[in-house]
Amino acid sequence: MPELTQEQIAKLSRVSQATVSRVLRGDPRVNEELRQRVLAVIKKHGYVPDARAQSLRSQRTGTLGLVVHRSPKQLARDPFFSALIAAIIEFAGEEGYHLCVDAARALQSRRAIYEDLLRTRRVDGLILVEPQTQDERMPRLLEEGFPFVLIGRYEPTDAVYSVDNDNVGAGRLATEHLIRQGHRRIAYIGGPRGLFVCEDRYQGYRKALEEAGLDYAPELVGWGDFSEAHGYRWANRLLDLPQPPTAVVAVDDLVAIGALRAAKERGVAVPQGMAIIGFNDTPFCQYVDPPLSSVAVEIRTLAQIATRVLIDLIEDRQPAQRRHIVPCRLVERASTGR
């Protein structure tokens, strides 16, 4: 390996090592002739500065950390994850930053990861994804003044810099769409009770009903998890009602797909017998039959804002606001068509 240092380049160029550094950093007060000489040698030998030495000296690593709060197994099948990483790499790259990714595997290792990345100065700042509501890292990170941004929500919302989807708006968007299509009896199949996403989308659902002057029917609302099986079970339950809903808002595409399967199995046509809409616009939506309408989350925008805010924080520019909300977008497909 070519263990080249500025020292060696300096010798070969017959200047001091300091001059080599100046040339590299683009210092204007360097004689043009020397500069050319140095640049030639650098090019000839393919010298590249050592990032470790640079970061030790400059106190900047040029690397962002992304910590995802899930087990590798959960990550493996999550389309959200790859989209997020891809977008962060893209935006961070534009600003000259690299990305270091870690997963908070087990609960006990969470602390370790945070230490390993931030306090060891391996990264300049952190993007945390979907932290727990009561995450013990928050107070510490805040206290130590480390640059970090949340994707998700943390209470109180103005305590930290965060970016989040407009989940209330998303729930409303889905429900209003169904109402516009003429539905009057609309069910909501939620995920785990207490989770922000689920509760917020539920709030949006309630609001849309209310604003349209529709009655809220508690028997049309179910909670559970994010699985296809959960959607399947609940859809069956809803279809067993004396007065079943004509449309379903499912908190997640997978849940919606479960509902879709239940309807098809029972010979209920979608959307004629029952319309179904999901959330996240995962790639699945296009390939199920009928294609599934969904409220898309703008992952790229989420990533873009998170990255920008974090880099602003790192580079001591005061970001404009602490909390950013990214609106969602309705993707109409056949499952809610007329």
Partner DNA sequence: TTGTAAGCGTTATCAC
Partner DNA sequence: GTGATAACGCTTACAA
- Interface with DNA (CB under 7 A): 3-7, 14-19, 21-22, 24-25, 29-31, 33-35, 47, 49-50, 53-54, 56-59
| Candidate segments 49-57, 156-164, 238-246, 321-329, binder of a copy of itself by CB under 8 A | 49-57
95 binds a copy of itself (CB under 8 A): no
Of the two residues 85 and 214, which places its CB atom closer to a copy of itself in the complex?
85
Q: Residue 305 contacts by C-beta under 8 Å, 6 or more apart in sequence?
A: 163, 324, 326
Q: How far is the CB of 144 from DNA (least distance, A)?
A: 15
Q: How far is the CB of 167 from a copy of itself (least distance, A)?
A: 21
| Candidate segments 79-87, 176-184, 242-250, 328-336, binder of a copy of itself by CB under 8 A | 79-87
Adjacent-strand bridge partners of 187:
248
Could you tell me how many helices (H) and strands (E) the chain has, helices first? 14, 12
User: In angstroms, rounded to a whole number, what is the distance separating the alpha carbons of residues 185 and 179?
Assistant: 9
Of the two residues 54 and 227, which places its CB atom closer to DNA in the complex?
54
User: In angstroms, rounded to a whole number, what is the distance separating the alpha carbons of residues 234 and 271?
Assistant: 17
Q: How many CB atoms lie within 10 A of CB 12?
A: 18
User: In angstroms, rounded to a whole number, what is the distance separating the alpha carbons of residues 331 and 256?
Assistant: 14
User: In angstroms, rounded to a whole number, what is the distance separating the alpha carbons of residues 147 and 118?
Assistant: 9
55 binds a copy of itself (CB under 8 A): yes
126 binds a copy of itself (CB under 8 A): no
| Candidate segments 29-37, 73-81, 130-138, 196-204, binder of a copy of itself by CB under 8 A | 73-81
DSSP class of 118: I
User: In angstroms, rounded to a whole number, what is the distance separating the alpha carbons of residues 263 and 35?
Assistant: 73
246 binds, among DNA, a copy of itself, none (CB under 5 to 8 A by kind): none
Q: How far is the CB of 296 from a copy of itself (least distance, A)?
A: 12
B/e letters for 293-309, b = 16+ CB within 10 Å, e = fewer, are bbbbbbbbbbbbbbbbb
Binding mask 142-181 for a copy of itself (x = CB under 8 A): --xxx-----------------------------------
Q: Residue 156 contacts by C-beta under 8 Å, 6 or more apart in sequence?
A: none
Contact 170, 297 (CB under 8 A): yes
In terms of Cβ atoms closer than 10 Å to its own Cβ (0-12, 13-18, 19+), residue 73 is exposed
User: In angstroms, rounded to a whole number, what is the distance separating the alpha carbons of residues 281 and 330?
Assistant: 9
Binding mask 209-248 for a copy of itself (x = CB under 8 A): -------------------x--------------------
56 binds a copy of itself (CB under 8 A): yes
Rg of the Cα atoms in the chain: 26
| Candidate segments 18-26, 71-79, 127-135, 306-314, binder of a copy of itself by CB under 8 A | 71-79
Of the two residues 98 and 180, which places its CB atom closer to a copy of itself in the complex?
98
Amino acid at 188: Y
**Residues at the contact surface with a copy of itself, assessed by CB under 8 A:** 1-2, 46, 48-53, 55-56, 61, 63, 72-73, 75-79, 81-83, 85-87, 89-90, 93, 98-103, 105, 115-117, 119-122, 144-146, 228, 257, 264, 283-284, 286-289, 299-300
